[in-house]
Chains A and B, each alone.
Chain A
Amino acid sequence: MAGQDISSVIKKQIEDFKGETSLIDVGVVVEAGDGIAQIHGLSNVKYSELLEFSDGTLGMALNLEEDSVGAVVLGDYLDIKEGDEVKATGRIVEVPVGEALIGRVMDPLGRPLDGKGPIKTNETAPVEKPAPNVVSRKSVDQPVQFGVKVVDALVPVGRGQRELIIGDRNTGKTAVAIDCIINQKGGDLICIYVAIGQKSSKVASVVETLAKYDALDHTFIVTANASDSAPLQYLAPYSGCAMGEFFMDQGKDVLIIYDDLSKHAWAYRQMSLLLRRPAGREAYPGDVFYLHSRLLERAARVDENSGGGSITALPVIETLAGDVSAYVPTNVISITDGQIYLESDLFNSGVRPALNTGLSVSRVGGAAQRKAMKKMAGSLKLELAQYRELAAFAQFGSDDLDEVTKRQLNRGARIVELLKQPQYEPLALEYQVILLYLASEGLLDEINLEDITKYEISWNEHVKSSIPDVLDNIRKSGDLSEADMKKIKKSAEDFNKVFKS
């Protein structure tokens, strides 16, 4: 734009400018510090209303007391002094919503952080919103394909479900979530990654990864980093959810990842203690359960009358030394519809994703699982359970075991090996089904354990050229017919001969 154009635009704006004159509520800061301000006045302010400090910083009214208001500062609080004037904006904390969000990185107030210019949306939505009520809900009936074999087979997640990803630090929690986002490429699921209290470098690498795998076309990121103020971290998941609800209301399916809610609880604990609310167990305030339950209740599958969209929530919880009985983990476990439990022992022994198949469950996802996968998963669960039990005995020496036991151990070891999967390499449903079919039919029993990975890669290539019609059938019908099973078996027997030689 030329200099003249800019000046004419500004001139026009000045000419058209009409100031607003109405009575506004004001107050005076009487105490400020640690991101909290006590404000005298503001007698008509509402709970969680946005406040504007004299330097333009925004705040949120939280403690409404008789003649003062306790507010948290959303942003830099070092410039706020005692005696500063505070204006009420009359707006409850809200975020911009719309299609323009997709592909962007923003903070919990919807301000862009990726340097790609302003986010142009016409609508806003309040950050806090009641969850869809009982009448408008529908049970889960469509799957979210993670593209991760072990998850899709053993802990299937349906659209509208809340599935917790829980584990110690460094067990691949984020990796599972990111794989799921990458697998939605070309699909109809809109993904939201909400980073709460994460290192900025980690968020940057997530964004980079998503961009590298072309996943930003259906994804956006809401982030409040470790260096941001606690109130922003507190707001982040609610903002992300409000943005997701916009798409759900349009009948679209949304996947939202809250990474992670332990840090969210810490941020809320900090705020509550500074606001001098009474502390309870582990110094969390009394409403820390409600903090997460009201957030996760907003994940839902709504019926056709309400638009028919869904929000699937994948909250992440980081445990300390595997302690799932700590306050926040137990809370979130009880709110969610199941958990993906990742273990550091498994991770270190090379089982990645380090999913503990015994402790991971999905309470509703089975209803949404594709038929073909369901057929395979039933026997798989049993085989793995038996394997775990026998493996515990067999570690004392396997020489004296009978043939049946040996065969079961052999099969189990191969299944465990088969369920391993490298990061960022999601696998389509049809390939997963065929692989699991091979395992359940014992077609992998003859393959050396260390060759399984190699086998899988060349088999997938082989399938593509030899039985493409079976792949098509599974993809379209979601089922595995008897005829197709026979074709797979025949093809595998041929392939095994070649592979072994």
Chain B
Amino acid sequence: MCLGIPGKIVDVYTANDLTMGKIDFGGVVREACLVYIPDAKVGDYTLVHVGFALNLISEQEAQETLELLREISEIEEKLGPSQ
């Protein structure tokens, strides 16, 4: 239940006074409520739980995490293999 899935927002609209969106999960498109991410726009990535988008995914933070891990990898190469 707490396993959210990342998806790309492909449409934003209003239904029953709620901001809703179509989210593309790697080819499968489903509806989600966007009321908790008021800044969301088409093209953004978000994480959806039980039909509600809970946050936008930060591209910058995602890149920084991957960069950090790649740096560890470069340092490891210099140090040689672990035990």
Q: Do these two chains really belong together in a complex?
A: no
